[in-house]
Structure 1
Amino acid sequence: MTESELVNLWIRTRWHIIVSQVAPTFLLTALVGFLALGLATADPSVRVAAAGVLLASGVLGALVQINAANEALAVIADLRAIGGMSAVTRRILSAAPWVNVVRFVTPAVFVVVYVALLIALFVG
């Protein structure tokens, strides 16, 4: 692939990472709002359903993020192999360590927030 094709692939991969964060973020925010409106006192089946929807969305979102991050790292590896890099390519290469935030930190944050919301839903 050419440098231009790889840069375009990077742009698409970065977009996938961004979009994959929308649904879980929205659902986490919505659940916090519903907790404020009394979801914690709703029937247990409603609380379990809310937790299940959030978990399914979070797992799918995390899988997409991890996969997109892995693809981004592959694009970075291919860009490194190209000689005579443009400034754009050098900037993309400098972002390589931050791709690991998407792979590891973002899913970890989701787990922590999810556990806190489960505690609010069922314990507290």
Structure 2
Amino acid sequence: MTEHELHAMWASARLQIILSQLGPIVLLTSSVALVMAGLGHQPTPIRLAAALILLSTGILGAVVQFSAAAEAQAIAADLSSLGAPSAVSRRIVAQAGFANVVKFVTPTIFVLTFLALLWAIFAPPALGGMQ
């Protein structure tokens, strides 16, 4: 593959990472708003449905983010093996380690946020829930 093709693949992987974060961000923010609007007072099936929608979207988003970040790291590895890489390629290779943030830190934050929302939705008020 040419350096130019690898740059295009890198840009595509970055776009996938960015776009895969939009769904969970919107859903997490909406969920906080729904909790504040009284989701915790709704019947259990409604609360459970909200939690499962949030969970499934989070899992799908994490899988896409992990996959795209792993691809980006593989692309960076290919770029590092090129003879006389451009400054852009050297920068991509130098920044490839940050993909670990997308692979591990972001999903961890999602899990913690998800657990906090579950607590707010299902815990009794005496334990800090909104129910």
TM-score class, shorter-chain normalisation, is: over 0.9
Q: How does 1:13-32 map to 2 (within 5 A)?
A: 13-32=13-32
Aligned to 2:7: 7
TM-aligned CA deviation for residue 90 of structure 1:
1.1
Identity, % of aligned positions: 49
**Aligned equivalents of 1:104, 1:36: Cα separation in 2:** 29
Q: How does 1:101-116 map to 2 (within 5 A)?
A: 101-116=101-116
Aligned to 2:126: none
- Note the aligned Cα RMSD (angstroms): 0.5
User: Greater relative contact order: 1 or 2 (C-alpha under 8 angstroms, separation 6 or more)?
Assistant: 1
Aligned to 2:58: 58
Aligned to 2:48: 48
> After superposition, what is the alpha-carbon deviation per residue over 1:32-91, rounded to whole angstroms, capped at 9, x for unaligned?
001111111111110000000000000000000000011001101100110111111111
Q: Which runs of 5+ in 1 are unaligned?
A: none
Aligned to 1:92: 92
Hey, which bits of structure 1, 4+ residues long, moved more than 6 A? none
